[in-house]
Amino acid sequence: MPAIGIIKEVTCVISGVLLVFNIDNPLTKLCPAKTTITVTSGTSKSTSTSRSSSHSTSFSTSHSTSKSSSRSTSTSTIFVGSSTSIVVPGSTLTVPTTSSSIPLTTSTSTSSPSSSSVVISTSSTEVPTTSSSVFSTSTSSSTSAATPTGYDAFNCPSDLPLSCSNTTAIADTCCFESPGGLILQTQFWDVSPATGPNNSWTIHGLWPDNCDGTYEQYCDPAREYTNLTQILQSYGRQDLVDYSLTYWASNSGPAETFWEHEFGKHGTCMSTFDIQCYPNYTPGAEVVDFFNRTISLFKDLPSYDWLAAAGIVPSTTVQYTLAQFENALAPHHGGNKPYVGCSGGQVDELWYYYYVQGSLQEGNYVPTAYGSSSCPASFWYYPKGYTAPTTTTSNPTASATATACSTASATPFVGKGYLNVYNAAGTKQGFVISTGKWLLSGTPATYRTSTTTGQGPFTLTTSKGLCAIQADSSLFCDASVTTGAQFYSDGSSLQYNSSDIFSAASTPSGTAQGTIFAGDSMAVDITLQWQTIC
């Protein structure tokens, strides 16, 4: 609580107007970029700034001059104090108060400047009633918008280093993607059920991996939007909706739900898409840029055409090798091999890696390579719509009496599966991700073994590469591993050095990733249990 004689105020820019609030005014939650001003009787003001962001950044603030930008305009100032309703010349702004995950609904008056206004209120009658509410982004010519305090993803220096290549900290994460500086454009080949045109791969997503191959996820619950189609339409981008309905389709539910998952999980973790990186932010602007960039990269990566040009076309009689795929695709990606993913003996994914110079919105994407393929020596590239056997063999002349995959009767550690984490009480607590780390929630990684009997010794492989037990006894999976650790099984429990006990310093929480160690040297004992997947 402030000391007697000290007043704290918060300032921010909304609709081109500099507003000054008492610090306890509930309307301060509307401010995307805030400046806290401490005033002591008889002294001058001093300022400190904070960013409401999933990525911490420090920067200087000035209300008299903003960062040089073509979007920059002048502002007027209104002192709000403790009031919970204000009128600002410019436009009408309706503010939800019950949930920060519901987008602001914004409309701009088309009447004369003398009669138009912005009304900001905490009245419950102005809260959108459903999560499908959408904001309008139209602006009348009489309304000026000021550049908020902060950085600008659309005016980045030309001499920035590539993401993941800096040797010193880069403060401006609006122009330097961090920590997720290893960008993946991922594609699906869905056979049954088929998605998209028969002569095209489809979009999986755009992902920001950390430079070491780990990743963040679900970084901003307030922006896990559930009305992406309406957001795109409100910006006049029906073209993005139409293209996505064809090329960004889901094989297991509505396309909209798939898009929401991809943006909520990955898009909210991209630092240059943070709302503070937009000089004149209007709600949902980052969604448009996320779709724009994902689709533009996908259009630059016509995988089907490149494969076909090399004589690699979908077939039910001919198998292909990993080398054939890589040799057909790498020349179009700066000589860098993409990750080729397989499931059940058939190819189903491609991941193209990039580093970025500048922001994701406008930066230069430089192809790179990372990780190793999950495909066997030869695999199927089936035509879309083909009903493939549920289990396959690498020999196309082998018996066609394959039976359906049954997880109930499957032998543990044969084929592919998840590694689930169980505590000493036998309660499941998350799973192991592709790097060998422990995570409580999210998406488990697919592990593959080298055994056909379920007995050891065998190796473990993920999309990141082989798994090893390092000198400090920690589990580590990466493309740099050349000799995998030798594991064994005890039923469905993973064993190493004749023990099924693994341990960690503590149980991770939230999106934190815990390091797993072989043996019981750490405080929390766990076991790793195999779950077969088809």
Catalytic-labelled residue, pool 55, 204, 332, 333: 204
Catalytic-labelled residue, pool 9, 260, 262, 326: 262
Is residue 442 within 8 Å of residue 511, measured between CB atoms? yes
d(CA 246, CA 291): 14
406 alpha-carbon distance from chain centroid: 32
- 262 counts as catalytic: yes
CA-to-CA dists, residue 55 to 175, 178, 186, 284, angstroms:
13, 8, 24, 19
Provide φ and ψ at 267, rounded to 5°: -60, -35
d(CA 450, CA 301): 32
Catalytic-labelled residue, pool 55, 260, 266, 332: 266
Q: What angle do CA 434, 437, 443 make, to 5 degrees?
A: 55
Say which residues have a Cβ less than 8 Å from residue 91's Cβ, sequence separation at least 6. Answer: 15, 106, 107, 108, 109, 116, 117, 118, 139, 140, 143
Which amino acid type is present at position 426? Answer: G
Say which residues have a Cβ less than 8 Å from residue 308's Cβ, sequence separation at least 6. Answer: 199
Is residue 36 within 8 Å of residue 10, measured between CB atoms? yes
- 55 counts as catalytic: no
Burial 433-454 (b: 16+ CB within 10 A, else e): bbbbbbbbeeebbbbbbebeeb
d(CA 209, CA 191): 27
- 204 counts as catalytic: yes
Tell the residue number behind the tokens 């593959």, with chain if given. Answer: 448
Residues with active-site annotation:
204, 262, 266
